Amino acid sequence: MSNQERAEHHQGGVYSSKGNLFERDTRYITTRIVRQPTPGQDAVAVEPGRYRLIAAKACPWANRALIVRRLLGLEEVISVGMPGPTHDADSWTFGLDPDGLDPVLRIPRIKDAYLARDPHYSRGITVPAIVDVTTGKVVTNDYAQITLDFSTEWTEFHREGAPDLYPEHLREEMDAVMKRIFTEVNNGVYRCGFAGTQEAYDAAYDRLWTALDWLEERLARQRFLMGENITEADVRLFTTLVRFDAVYHGHFKCNRNKLAEMPVLWGYARDLYQTPGFGDTVDFQQIKEHYYVVHTDLNPLSIIPKGPDLSGWLTPHGREALS
């Protein structure tokens, strides 16, 4: 496995380069955590205090889970462990914690929890992952389902006034919007960054900007992706947008323009960033350290850029006028 492959082995899926194109291995552990598991269902029961979310702030896929947990007020019932911003070819590690051990699981790397579940586990050691504290075993790393289950299966423990992030009457349209965001934007920036040929990069670049222009137009007439209220769709888009100027614009060569040069998307992203649960789960230094240190094929000397100036995230956005 090359350095480039290793760089993607732990972040949302396994990188592969068939035909010099970026592909993401989406074979996850699909065990779910639900209110009432049914016979034959690959699921365990919701139980406060039993599960620990492992989610690195640097990773956009893990950042989603941190945001949803915070928005729904699940902090008291689902604990969180945070690996450092970088990892080696083996696993994310808990280097930010005392003695390099997660203080609850008492392990130095998340891979240990994967191997506790399956000593022969051979897929990606990814975050986010949810670990059963009572057994030390990973329950699931299916990041898309994790946040949907937080919204729909943990409702008994939501804070008063928590948003409905996956409203039933919008699900059909939401699912289509989120699918396009995943394929064209969340994954699109990686398709640009890890393109193996000029032709692959050119095609990926065009796809990405077609999608971003579509979003600029959609959000010009409504405050959030599905209307007046924040939903799961906004969470999924935000974690890519918040990394765009700091990382994807330069590091992944997604450089037609910066996010800050797209008036609608820039205002929308700031609106979310200034909403409790979004900006307070973002750490720009960890984000930059992760991408510029781990992706050694793209940045062989692991030099972390000092810029760009990120102070604009707290400036007025004016999006309230659309509500």
CATH of the domain at 210: 1.20.1050.10
In terms of domains, do 216 and 153 share one? no
In terms of domains, do 186 and 270 share one? yes
Domain presence at residue 110: yes
Q: How many separate domains does the chain show?
A: 2
Please determine, for residue 99, whether its predicted confidence score (pLDDT) is greater than 50: yes
Strand partners, 230: none
Q: Is 209 annotated as a binding residue?
A: no
> What's the pLDDT score for residue 19?
55
Q: Give the whole-number percent of the chain exceeding pLDDT 70.
A: 93
> Cα(first)–Cα(last) distance of the chain, in Å?
49
In terms of domains, do 315 and 186 share one? yes
Out of 103, 131, 157, a domain closes at 157
**At 52, which CATH number?**
3.40.30.10
Out of 157, 192, 227, a domain closes at 157
Domain presence at residue 163: no
In terms of domains, do 30 and 61 share one? yes
Catalytic residue among 15, 28, 51, 59: 59
- In the residue annotation, 292 being an active-site residue is answered as no
Q: Are 136 and 105 in contact (CB under 8 A)?
A: yes
Mean pLDDT of 28-42: 96
> What's the pLDDT score for residue 89?
80
In terms of domains, do 241 and 147 share one? no
List all residues 6 or more positions away from 92 whose beta carbon is below 8 Å from its beta carbon: 10, 54, 56, 83, 84, 109, 110, 111, 125, 127
Question: Which contiguous run of DSSP H or E holds residue 131?
Answer: strand 129-132
The parent domain of residue 68 ranges over: 3-157
- In the residue annotation, 201 being an active-site residue is answered as no
Helix 143-152, helix 232-243: angle, nearest 10: 140
In terms of domains, do 176 and 91 share one? no
Among 79, 81, 104, residue whose Cα is nearest residue 94: 81
Q: Are 146 and 12 in contact (CB under 8 A)?
A: no
Out of 104, 129, 157, a domain closes at 157
Catalytic residue among 51, 190, 201, 248: 190
Whole-structure pTM value: 0.94
